[in-house]
Amino acid sequence: MAERSGPSRILACILVGLGAFLLAVAILVPTFMVGQLKKTPLDLEVTTIAEGTGSVLNSEALRAGNAEVDQNVPIIAQRYVTVQEPSNADDITVQAGLTVRRTDKQGDTGLLSATVDTVTGDRQTGMPTNDPVGTLQTQPNQPAEELERDGLQYKFPFGTKKESYPYFDLTAHETNPIEFVEEAELHGVEVYHFKQEVGPVDLSKVSDAPTNKLQLPAQVWGVPGGELPVTMTRYYTNVRDLWVEPTTGVIVKGQEQLHQYYARNADKPEVNVLEVTLPFNEATIEQQAQQAREGMDQLSLIGRTVPIVAAILGVICLIAGIILGTRGGKGKDRARDDETRDPDDSGDAYAAAPAASDRDWTTDQTEEIRDWTNDRTEEFPPVQDPRHNQ
């Protein structure tokens, strides 16, 4: 028993140490590692596609002197988002290229708008840092212009709440609240529905592009006045709906009800430039839902599953180590007492004495038989015959 107590003590120490380590892991993993996971990945590369049917001003007819609006036009909006420099442990710079085109025409004749937006934001909250200031390019032959912003755009914060958030509209160059509406479910993912209404916004005050304020004969605009010049301003409104997975902040579905029009009064549209509702298509929604699921699974694994398993195993190791150490100590003490105990000083003398069956009877018998051959024997006197006395 004394020989086994050493390894038992070592194993007990190992188990206690392992238990303490696992308990520390259970405490520290949610505190530190989950915080690191709650950041937009630096390898982000996302393409979203929204499709719809609407009305579009025919630019060729307008140049020919007729403000003609095409109806039931198939329209597609495609956004491609990638990560650019500077990006680091805390901030991320994303570049979003967006094209809106009518698919019933080919090449440049079908292109309605194209922009390249670059913004640097916090990887956890999604809010812009303006360090460096973001830029926006609207013309292929023109350099990008700096554009400060103070609202969300491409992603919501980790742990999105049921409340309003500031959301930046790239067309209007302004931030407005986007309000929580309801909880919903998309492709098996629980989401929060947010809604924002923008405008009408006078685009001539946003950009000095010549198409934002036009002066044409009244007959070209299709309004009374004949050849009299009529100046019209381009206005913009939008009803934006976003469905956000709250744990990761991923926008699972987006939809915009776009309306751009020329008018002399903002409240009375006269000539449509673009009027269309563009929701994410089903492939994009599934892609975004899968991205959200993967993010949730990773956060759940590190933030919940690993700590629980580590805590359970840690407690088991601690208990096993303590029990093994306690028993090993008692065994060692008992062995030491057995080795030092004097059998004559205790009531266990008979137990300490060797059993009769264990004795070497050959040796005992040799010691007890006397060798008479070497001894000097005494001579006994002869016995006298009684008849001689007579």
List the end-to-end C-alpha distance of the chain, in Å, as a whole number.
Answer: 86
Percentage of the chain beyond pLDDT 90 is 57
pLDDT of 164 over the 60 cut: yes
Of 59-68, 78-87, 274-283, 306-315, the poorest mean pLDDT is in 306-315
The domain spans of the chain are 1-37+307-340, 38-280
Instruction: Give me the amino acid identity at 315.
Output: V
Taking each helix axis from N to C terminus, what angle separates 306-340 and 2-28, rounded to the nearest 10 degrees? 160
Of 228-242, 244-258, 365-379, the poorest mean pLDDT is in 365-379
Contacts of 387 (CB under 8 A, 6+ apart): none
**Residue 261's closest CA among 279, 244, 273, 252?**
273
Structure-model confidence comparison of residues 326 and 207, the more confident one = 207
pLDDT digits (tens, 9 = 90+) for 35-58: 666 788 898 899 999 999 999 999
pTM: 0.73
> 271 is written with which tokens?
């000539």
In contact, 23 and 314? CB cutoff 8 Å:
yes
The separation between CA 351 and the C-alpha centre of its own chain, rounded to angstroms, equals: 69
pLDDT digits (tens, 9 = 90+) for 18-28: 767 766 666 66
The separation between CA 258 and the C-alpha centre of its own chain, rounded to angstroms, equals: 33
**How, if at all, do strands 213-217 and 174-186 pair?**
unpaired
Instruction: Give me the amino acid identity at 111.
Output: L
Q: Report how far apart, in Å, the C-alpha atoms of 45 and of each of 83, 110, 243 are.
A: 7, 26, 20
- Residue 314, SS3 per DSSP: helix
- Averaged pLDDT of the chain: 82
- Residue 342, SS3 per DSSP: coil
> CA-to-CA distance for 150 and 182, rounded, in angstroms?
25
**Residue 288's closest CA among 240, 242, 250, 243?**
250
Average pLDDT over residues 64-72: 90
pLDDT digits (tens, 9 = 90+) for 329-340: 555 555 555 555
- Residue 60, SS3 per DSSP: helix
